[in-house]
Structure 1
Amino acid sequence: MNSSERIAAFSCAYRPQDMGERLLQACVRSLLDTYSVAVAGANEPASLAARRYARAEAGLDLHLGAHLWGGAEEAVSLESAALCNGIAAHVLDYDDVTPMFRGHASVALWPALSALAEAMDIDSARLASAYVVGFEVLCGLARGMAIEQYARGWHTTASIGILGCTAGCAHLLGLDPQQTVNALGLAVAQAGGVRENVGTQAKSFQAGQCNAAALRAALLAREGFEASADAIDGEFGYLGLYGAGTAAALPGELGNAPLELERSGLDVKKYPMCYATHRALDGLLAIKHGHGIDAAQVRAVHVRASAGALVPLVHPCPRTGLEGKFSMQYAVAAALLDGAVRLASFTDAAVCRPAAAELMARTSVAEADGDMFPKWAEVEIVLRDGRSLAQRVERLGGSQQAPLTDADLREKAADCLQWAGREQGDARRLWDAASRLGRISSRQLFQELRFGT
C-alpha cells in the first residue's frame, strides 16, 4: 500500500475503545489547554477580523453550525468555526508543541475536529479517537520530513498538520478507505504555510486555514469528490515536492504501540511565546528568583543554545507584541522586568518600553555548532558588581520529561480566562467540562466548555 492507503487503513481500523484511559487523559489535557488559549486569544485583532469574515460569509442566516470559542452563543459555518478557532488558539503562541513535528499539533487538529463533532453531535469518544488518529498521522509524516521541510521555510504546523487533520476528520466522519484516500489527495491540493509569516497575524491564519482546508477535504470526499491515490507518494506528489525529494515515505505501520501521542507526546507551554525561548527563560528565571536579581543590577545577558534551536527567533528588535513573541532579546527583557513571562508581557506598549529596549541592547544570542539534539540552552547574567551567574537547562519545564501538573494546567487556564476579561470564568469548571471528553456527546461537551468560560 502507498502512504494514502496506509493512512486510510489505519483511520478506518482504529476505534475509540482502543485508546485506553492514558490516551484519553492526554486528549483531555490537550483539549483544555488548546481551548483556554483560544479563549484568551479570541479578542486579538486577528481573531476579531476572522469573526467579521465568518459573519459576512454566513450573512443573516447564522444557521446551526459550530460555535466560536470564547464567542458566547455565536454559531457560524463549519469552515468558519475551524478557521476562526484555529486562529484564536494560535495567535498568542501559547498552544502546545511537539518538537519532532517542528510544530503545534493540537491547534492543527482540535478546531476542525471540534466543529465537525459539535455540528453533527458525534459521540465525544469518537472525537477523542479522531484526535489520536490525526496525531498519529502527522507525527508519522513528520518523522521523515519535518526537520528538512521546516529548514526550507515551510510552517510545518500547517503544511504537515493538514494531512493529520484530514485523517482525523475522515475518521470522525467514518469515511471508508477510498473516501479517505480522496480526502488526503484533496488536502495535498491545499497544503501550505510559510515561516516568513512568523511574527505576523498570518501565522495564526495558516493554522486556522489548515483546519478549514482539512475539513473541506473530508466533507468533499464524503460526497464522492475524487483525487489521486498517489497524491502523497507520487513522482509529483507531496513527499517529493514539499520535501524537495529528501523526504522519506511514511515509516512503518501506523497504529503500532506505543502510539505517537504517548511516544512523541505534547509539550505544554509555560510561557506565551515561541518555544525556542523556553529553555533560556527557565534558566534566566531560576537565576533571577534564586538570587533575587533586579533588572537594574544587570550589565549584560548572554544566551547560547544548541544548533538550530533558535531558528524561529527572527525579531531581535521587536516593535509589536506579536514580534516580541519571536525574540530572545525581548524574552530576556520581559523576564527581568516583569519577574514572569505572562500574556500581559506581550502588549505593543510592553514590548516598546524604554527599559526593555535597554536590556535587549545588552543581550547577546548565539547558537553552538554540532548536533541539533539533545537540545539545551545556557544563560549567563553579568551583574554591575562584577559577579557572573550562569545556568544550563536541558530538561524543559512543561515537556514530556517534566510535564506540568494538572494544577499547573488549571493555573495556565485561569491566566487565559483573566486575559480574556472573563473573571467570572472558573478554571476548575473548565477542567471539569474538558474531563467529560469521551463520556458525553460532543454537542453537550462544547456547551459545558462555553459555560465554563
Structure 2
Amino acid sequence: MGRSEEKLAEFIVNTKSEDIPADAYRAAREAIFDCIGVMLAGADQPLGKMIQKFVSDQGGNGDCTIVGSSMRTSQYMAALGNGTLGHALDYDDMGGFGHPSVALLPPALAIAEELDLTVNDLLTAYVIGFEAAAHLSRGSSSPQGTTGFHSTAIFGTMGSAAVAARLLGLDKEQTLTALGMAGSMPSGILQNFGTYTKPLHAGMTSRNGIMAGYLARDGWKATDNFLESKVGWASAYLGAGNFDPEAMVKDLGNTWLCATSIVIKKYPCCGSNHSSLDSLLSILNSNELDFNDIDEVEIDNFSSISHVLLYPRPTYGFQGKFSIHYNVATALVDKKIDMASFNDENLDRSEYLEAIDKVDIKINSEWSSGRDGMMVSNPVKITLKDGTTLEEDTNRHVMHGTQADPLSEEEFKDKFYNCAILSLPKERVGNAIDSWWNADGSAKIRDLLGTVRIG
C-alpha cells in the first residue's frame, strides 16, 4: 500500500457529513432527483424492459426495488438493473468523471434500502463516492479516446465501491480491499456507444460496487496497491505517464468537485452534442428561421475521429444519440431535441434526409483524448440561402445545466414529470416529484422508493 491509496481510503472512511459543504449536498440532491426521473423513463424503453426481464429471470432473493417496476430483487441485481435504466436514454447527468449518478446512485439505493438508511446517509455516501472518482479522474489525463475504455466504467467503478464501503461502514483496511477488488472490475468500450451495451456499462459499474463492498466486509482479499503499482488499476486502465497518484488524492476533502462539476442534461443524447445544440437552437428560435431558408450549417472545432460521436449516418435512432450530424439535422427540422427525437422512424423522414446533407462538421481540433485537449465549444454558423450568416458559440463549461447556469426548480420538475409519466400512473407522478424533491434528511430511502415502484 502506498500513501495515495491510504489517503483515499481514509477520506472515504473518516469524512464526516458536517465536513461536506452545503453546495456539494445541494448538487448531489439535485442529481439524485434527476437520476430517479431518468430511471423511470429508462424503465419504459426496449432495453429497459430487456434488463428487467434479465433481472427477473436471473435475480436472487431480496427486497430491493427496480425503479419503475414491481420487481424486488437482490442488492446486486438491483444495482445492475437501476444503473442500466438510468443510462438507457443517455439523459442522465455528466461531469467529474463521465456519468456520475448512474455509477453512484444505484448501489447507494440498494444498500440504503436493505439497511433502512436515510436520505442524509445516501447523500453523504454519494458525495464521498463522487469525490473519490472525480479526484482520481482529475489526477489523470483520462485518455479514453486512445485506450477505448469508457471513463464512466473506469472511474465509476472506484466511486461505486467507495459508496458501498461508506454505507456498509467498512474500516480502512476493508475499504482498501473493496477498492483493490474494484480495480479488477472496470469494463466498457467506446465502440459500444450507440448500442444497448453502453447503458449496461453503468449497470455493471453499479453492480461492481455492490460486489466489492460486500465481499470486503466479509473478509475477501485484494491488493491495496492499486494506484502506485506499475501493474495496478491506474497503470492498466490509464497507461503509464497518464496519471499522478499524488495528484489523484492531494485535494480530497479540500476541493469539492461535486459542487462544481455536475451537469444536468437538457437533451437525451451524448453530452458532446450539447453545446452545439444550444447554439443552433438559439439561432433557430431567436430568428424564427424555417428549415427551407437554410443552405448550410457548419459546426466547428471537432476532431478528425470523435471517440464518442461515432455515427455520421446513423442507421437507427439509438445511434443518433451519438451523432452530431443526426442531432443537428433533427434540430433543424423540429427546432427541438427530446426523447421522441430518437425514434427509429425519424431516420426515414424526407425532411431529415434533406437536412443531414446541409450539415458540415469542421475538423480542426486536437480533441481526441486527455483533459488538456478537451473541447470548450463547437461554434455554429448557419448560412441562409440569401447568403446571410448567423453565428453563435456556447461554452460547454457554462452552458445551461452546468453548476454555473443551473436548471431552475421548475425545469427539474418538468424533466422529471416527462420521464416519470412513461412508467408511473399519471396520478402518482406528482407525489413522486414532491417526495423526492422535498425529502427531509431523516426520510427513509425505503419509503421514497415506494413512490417510484409499480404496485
Same fold at TM > 0.5 = yes
Q: Does 1:316 align with 2:312?
A: yes
Question: Which residue identity does 1:375 align to in structure 2?
Answer: V
Q: Does 1:174 align with 2:175?
A: no
Work out the percentage of aligned pairs sharing the same amino acid. 30
Say which structure, 1 or 2, has more relative contact order (CA 8 Å, 6+ apart): 2
- Partner in structure 2 of residue 393 of structure 1: 394
Shift of 1:402: 1.4
Question: Which residue identity does 2:409 align to in structure 1?
Answer: D
CA gap 1:448/1:156 in 2 versus in 1, 3 angstroms:
same
- Partner in structure 1 of residue 62 of structure 2: 64
> Of residues 195, 198, 205 in structure 1, which corresponds to 2:193?
198
Question: Which residue identity does 1:207 align to in structure 2?
Answer: A
Question: Is the contact made by 2:382 and 2:390 (CA closer than 8 Å) also made in structure 1?
Answer: yes
> Of residues 398, 404, 427 in structure 1, which corresponds to 2:407?
404
- Partner in structure 2 of residue 297 of structure 1: 293
Question: Is the contact made by 2:417 and 2:433 (CA closer than 8 Å) also made in structure 1?
Answer: no
Question: Is the contact made by 1:307 and 1:372 (CA closer than 8 Å) also made in structure 2?
Answer: no
Question: Which residue identity does 2:103 align to in structure 1?
Answer: A
- Partner in structure 2 of residue 360 of structure 1: 356
Shift of 1:345: 0.6
Shift of 1:309: 10
Question: Is the contact made by 1:94 and 1:269 (CA closer than 8 Å) also made in structure 2?
Answer: yes
Once the two structures are overlaid, the 10-residue window that deviates more, 365-374 or 350-359, is 365-374
> Of residues 428, 436, 439 in structure 1, which corresponds to 2:439?
436
Residues 163-203 of structure 1, C-alpha deviations (whole Å, 9 max, x = no match): 01101110111001111111111111211211011000010
CA gap 1:414/1:351 in 2 versus in 1, 3 angstroms:
farther
Question: Which residue identity does 2:39 align to in structure 1?
Answer: A
Shift of 1:385: 2.8
Shift of 1:51: 1.2
- Partner in structure 2 of residue 347 of structure 1: 343
CA gap 1:356/1:145 in 2 versus in 1, 3 angstroms:
same
Question: Is the contact made by 2:68 and 2:452 (CA closer than 8 Å) also made in structure 1?
Answer: no
3-state SS of the aligned residue for 1:319? Answer: coil
- Partner in structure 2 of residue 90 of structure 1: 87
Distance in 2 (CA, whole Å) between partners of 1:15 and 1:146 is 30
Question: Which residue identity does 1:369 align to in structure 2?
Answer: S
Question: Is the contact made by 1:277 and 1:310 (CA closer than 8 Å) also made in structure 2?
Answer: no
Question: Is the contact made by 1:343 and 1:419 (CA closer than 8 Å) also made in structure 2?
Answer: no
CA gap 1:431/1:351 in 2 versus in 1, 3 angstroms:
farther
Q: Does 1:137 align with 2:138?
A: no
Question: Is the contact made by 1:302 and 1:379 (CA closer than 8 Å) also made in structure 2?
Answer: yes
CA gap 1:360/1:266 in 2 versus in 1, 3 angstroms:
same
Distance in 2 (CA, whole Å) between partners of 1:226 and 1:254 is 28
Question: Which residue identity does 1:205 align to in structure 2?
Answer: L
Shift of 1:266: 0.4
Question: Is the contact made by 2:435 and 2:448 (CA closer than 8 Å) also made in structure 1?
Answer: no
Q: Does 1:111 align with 2:119?
A: no
Distance in 2 (CA, whole Å) between partners of 1:41 and 1:146 is 32
Q: Does 1:278 align with 2:274?
A: yes
Once the two structures are overlaid, the 10-residue window that deviates more, 17-26 or 148-157, is 17-26
Question: Is the contact made by 1:124 and 1:441 (CA closer than 8 Å) also made in structure 2?
Answer: yes
Residues 55-112 of structure 1, C-alpha deviations (whole Å, 9 max, x = no match): 11237xxx433101111x32111111101111110010001110x52x1111110011
3-state SS of the aligned residue for 1:268? Answer: coil
TM (normalized to structure 2)?
0.92
> Of residues 236, 252, 256 in structure 1, which corresponds to 2:253?
256
Question: Which residue identity does 2:197 align to in structure 1?
Answer: A
3-state SS of the aligned residue for 1:160? Answer: helix
Distance in 2 (CA, whole Å) between partners of 1:439 and 1:352 is 51
- Partner in structure 1 of residue 37 of structure 2: 36
TM (normalized to structure 1)?
0.93
Distance in 2 (CA, whole Å) between partners of 1:25 and 1:309 is 37
> Of residues 240, 260, 263 in structure 2, which corresponds to 1:267?
263
Q: Does 1:445 align with 2:443?
A: no
Distance in 1 (CA, whole Å) between partners of 2:430 and 2:273 is 26
Q: Does 1:372 align with 2:373?
A: yes
Question: Is the contact made by 1:80 and 1:212 (CA closer than 8 Å) also made in structure 2?
Answer: yes
Question: Is the contact made by 2:43 and 2:85 (CA closer than 8 Å) also made in structure 1?
Answer: yes
CA gap 1:137/1:376 in 2 versus in 1, 3 angstroms:
same
Question: Is the contact made by 1:125 and 1:439 (CA closer than 8 Å) also made in structure 2?
Answer: yes
> Of residues 63, 74, 77 in structure 1, which corresponds to 2:74?
77
Once the two structures are overlaid, the 10-residue window that deviates more, 290-299 or 81-90, is 290-299
Distance in 2 (CA, whole Å) between partners of 1:110 and 1:7 is 20
Residues 2-58 of structure 1, C-alpha deviations (whole Å, 9 max, x = no match): 333222111110122333543322222011111101100112222211111111123
1:195-274 to structure 2, matched below 5 A, reads 195-246=190-241, 247-251=243-247, 252-253=249-250, 255-262=252-259, 264-274=260-270
Residues 330-378 of structure 1, C-alpha deviations (whole Å, 9 max, x = no match): 1112212222110011111123323212211221112433663560121
Gaps of at least 5 residues in structure 1 are none
CA gap 1:259/1:444 in 2 versus in 1, 3 angstroms:
same
Gaps of at least 5 residues in structure 2 are 367-371
Distance in 1 (CA, whole Å) between partners of 2:76 and 2:320 is 30
Question: Which residue identity does 1:65 align to in structure 2?
Answer: D
- Partner in structure 1 of residue 16 of structure 2: 15
Distance in 1 (CA, whole Å) between partners of 2:30 and 2:430 is 13
- Partner in structure 2 of residue 157 of structure 1: 152
CA gap 1:364/1:306 in 2 versus in 1, 3 angstroms:
closer
- Partner in structure 2 of residue 325 of structure 1: 321
Distance in 2 (CA, whole Å) between partners of 1:165 and 1:434 is 23
Once the two structures are overlaid, the 10-residue window that deviates more, 396-405 or 88-97, is 396-405
Once the two structures are overlaid, the 10-residue window that deviates more, 42-51 or 361-370, is 361-370
Q: Does 1:184 align with 2:179?
A: yes
Shift of 1:392: 1.6
Question: Which residue identity does 2:178 align to in structure 1?
Answer: A
